[in-house]
Structure formats: C-alpha cells, structure tokens
Amino acid sequence: MRRWPLGVLVLIVFGLMLGGCARSEDEVVIGSKKFTESVILGEMLTALAQTTGRPVLHRASLGGTRILFNALQAGEIDAYVEYTGTLSHEIMARETAVSPAELRAWLADRGIALVGSLGFQNNYALGMPEAEASDLAIHTLSDLKAHPELRFRFGSEFMERSDGWPGLRERYGLPQQDVRGVEHELAYRALGAGEADVTELYTTDAEIAYYGLRTLDDDLGYFPRYDAVLLLRADLGQRAPSVRAALERSLGLIDVGEMVALNAAVKIEGEGEAQAARDFLRVKLGLASEVSSDGLLARLARHSLEHLMLVGVSLTAAICVAVPLGVLAAYRRRLGQVVLSTVGILQTIPALALLVFMIPLFGIGAGPALVALFLYSLLPIVRNTHAGITGIPVALRESAQALGLPAAARLRRIELPLALPMILAGIKTAAVINVGAATLGALVGAGGYGQPILTGIRLDNTALILEGAIPSALFALVTQWLFERAERAVVPRGIRGRSG
C-alpha cells in the first residue's frame, strides 16, 4: 500500500509528458524549417489559413528537412513548403532527378499531396567574395580544383546531404581539406570576416548581395532544380476543404526577386517574418491582417513557463525512476552494472539525435523534449544514489542488522537518510544539466529559452540571443541555489557535517 503513491506520481508525470504532444482536432498546423525563408513562407501559409476562421498554429524553425517531412508524414503538421531537389535527393535518396509525376506518386503513397509550385526556385550554389574570386580568376566550380588552399565552410546539413558536399567533391574532384560544417548563417559571417573563402549559397539569400559574393557557375550540372512547392497532408481537403483552398492561393504567388526582397527585409532590414509575410500578402492579394507581437516581458514570461515545465516535469519523472534504480543497483551488484551501463550509454547519445529519435513516438512539441531530458537526467541521479548507499560504512550497516531491523526498514530509516546528501547532489546536477539542454527543445517546437536563442542566431540578432541566454543562465544559478537551500532544510546537520 505504501508504494502506490509513487506509482501514481510516475503515471501523472508521464501523462503530462505525453500530453505535450496532443493537438486539437480542429487546429491546422503549419511547419517551417530553421532558416529565414522557410519561416517567412510558413507565416504566409499561416496567414492564408487564418482567413478561413479556423485555429491555426505555426510550428516555426523545426530543425531540418527530416524533422519537417517526418512530422508531415505522421500528421503532426498539415502543410509546409519544401524544395523539389531536396525531396528527390534527400528524402527519396535518389542520385538523379525524378519526374514530377514520379515525385507526386511517391508522396501520395505516403499520404502527402504535392499541390504545386509557389513560383520560384531556391537552388544550391557555391559562392565566394567577389574580390577574392576576381584575384584568383575563379568563375566556375571546376576552377576551384586549382586552389586546394581555399577554406570551405558549409552548413551542417549540406555537409551530409546526398546532394551536398560529398557528391559535389566527387563530381568535381575537389582537393580542399580545410572543410568544416557550421550553421548556414555563421558561414556568411565567416566569409565577411575573412575567416573562410567559400560557402554554399541558397540562391534567394539576401546575403549574396549584402556580402558582395560571386555565385560560381555549376559547369558540370551537379545541383538539381529546387522549385519551392507546397506540400499538404492528403486528407486536409476532406478535413478542412476551405483551408486547402486558402493555402492553394500561394501557388505561383512569388517570383525569385520577390523572395530575395522578402529575405532582405527580414535578415538585412530587421523586419519580423510575420510582418514581412503579411505585408507581401496585403500587396499581392489584398489581405488585411494585423500582426500582434508580444512585448519583452510577455515573451520572457512565456519562455520561462515553457522552460520551467520542460525542466520540472522531466526532472520529477527522472527522480521517481532514477532513485529506485540507484537503490536496485546498490543491492544487486550484477544487475547494478547493467543499470549503470545503460544510463551511461543514454548519456552519450547526442541531444539532437535523441530528439529526432523521439519524434516518431511522441510527435513534435514538448513530448520528445521531455522524454530526452528525462533520459539525460537519469545518469547523475542513479550514480549518486548508488554511490551514496554503497559508500555507507560497513560498521553502520552491521549495527543496523544487529538491531534486527528488516531490510526495508534499514533502507528507509538509515541508508537513505545517510545517502541523502549524495542523492540531492545528483538531482542538483541533473537539474542544472536540464536547464541548459532544454534550450535544444526549440528545435522540435517545445519552446523555452531556446526559441529566442535559435531565432537570434538565424537573424544575427545579439539582443534575441541574450533574451534566451541570460534568463537560461540565471535559471541555472537559481536552480542550484534552491537545491543548496533544500539540502540544508532536509538533511540533518549531523549527516550534513559528515558528508562535507
């Protein structure tokens, strides 16, 4: 009877974790990737869908291609803008271009409709500063072969894509060795600062003109076409025909020059994505819609609540599971090695990979972030609980046995109180780790302090970065202080003195 409250608590906590994945049946969800153009287009689709009067949510900056496509296929989002070359080479993993009919059929088999093109292409290219390209007489990608000393800085996704750097290097026989992956936006800054020579370009990027870059000719025709196309859940027409009709108004709406201007308005002139998108729709379609923006205090309050939920729920679940596991590991040595090894392996999985693994199980939003944070919290709590119990002097254990106390009573009255300082230290460590790791949850739509940080990096906006980084650091300091106060309150002075 004494165990059921703990079990109920664990069920409640995991119920909250899974509940973070739920969405309203009437709600339409638009997605976008974590680069500016995708967010602008996501805001356009959102504004169009809102004209139907249905509730619409924009899941902005949801990481890379695979996250968005998997979310669309799983029904976590209803629509987003993708590019044909990305679909054929990255999603379908084809080495050559596919016909539009083949692409539509392949997507239809997965419950996805390719509705049509928005009217422009955003192709891949390589670029370098105009002055340096002129000095070295570099005009084409083939010309790069004669300059192995050049420093290449590519976006992390481009470094791994089937239509990215590996295939490009092989097609052109490029000899460069100083090739590194960075965020796409940081590569432009590296060029501007003279810390890199060549990067990949999206041909609608405003930075091409801003940094005075030369776009090198793809003389061997390596890169495919990247037409911007509207992808929808195939069942959206049955669930919300008015929304599908509204979204189809985006087809043929934007040409290349207009997309470049929109990107420049946001990245160079500092206009918000939502405002830029709605201004464009007002001019092109006559849509009148106001953009409501929260003030700094309102944004801080919202991000703080989201961050507190991520850390608090995942940490509570971890305590409920990790402390019993630590006790089990201390009492059953062989099984304990398995437990300790397992939680240690979980800690070595990269955070972003773990988030991606969780999406098929828990969808996008808070769910995958909560589960990932829960798993990352296990190791310090399990290890410290195990160390606290196994570190109790043998004489104290024998004295407890001599008193005739049952094993459960010894654990509850003697061993756990003596191990409490170590257990609390493990929980404190897990909490501080969680505060930092929770910022990555923004990549899967979980919000928190990571949202302004990622947006600030994308827009080269230091104020936005600090809007997330400073509260996150303060949150970690306050968390550590609260646990130190809690230790003083719950640990008897004699044990506290002995542990120190």
Note down pLDDT in tens along the chain; length 500 residues.
344 444 445 545 555 545 544 556 789 999 999 889 999 999 999 999 999 999 999 999 887 888 899 899 989 999 999 999 999 988 998 777 788 899 999 999 999 999 999 999 999 999 999 999 999 999 999 999 999 999 999 988 899 888 899 999 999 999 999 999 988 888 888 898 899 999 999 999 999 999 999 999 999 999 999 999 999 999 999 999 999 999 999 999 999 999 999 999 999 998 989 999 999 999 999 987 666 667 888 889 999 999 999 999 999 999 999 999 999 998 888 888 899 999 999 888 887 778 777 777 787 888 889 999 999 999 999 999 999 888 887 777 667 666 666 767 777 777 888 888 889 999 999 999 999 999 988 888 888 999 899 888 877 788 889 999 999 999 999 998 988 888 777 776 666 555 44
Q: Return the number of other C-beta atoms located less than 10 Å from residue 334's C-beta.
A: 7
CA distance 444 to 432: 21
What CATH number does domain 296-499 carry, 1.10.3720.10, 3.60.110.10, 1.20.120.1200, 3.40.190.10? 1.10.3720.10
Which residues, 6+ apart, have CB-to-CB distance to 107 below 8 Å?
87, 113, 114, 231
Q: Is 296-499 the same fold as 24-121+225-285?
A: no
Task: Tell me the fold of 24-121+225-285.
Answer: D-Maltodextrin-Binding Protein; domain 2 (3.40.190)
Instruction: Locate 316 and state its tokens.
Output: 């509570």
Closest by CA position to 369, among listed 454, 459, 436: 436
Closest by CA position to 443, among listed 355, 347, 315, 349: 355
Q: Residue 494 burial (CB < 10 Å; 0-12/13-18/19+)?
A: exposed
- pTM: predicted TM-score of the whole model, two decimal places: 0.81
Q: Are 448 and 462 in contact (CB under 8 A)?
A: no
Domain ranges of the chain: 24-121+225-285, 124-215, 296-499
Q: What is the dihedral of CA 231, 232, 234, 240, to 10 degrees?
A: -160
Query: May I ask the CATH architecture of the domain 124-215?
Result: 3-Layer(aba) Sandwich (3.40)
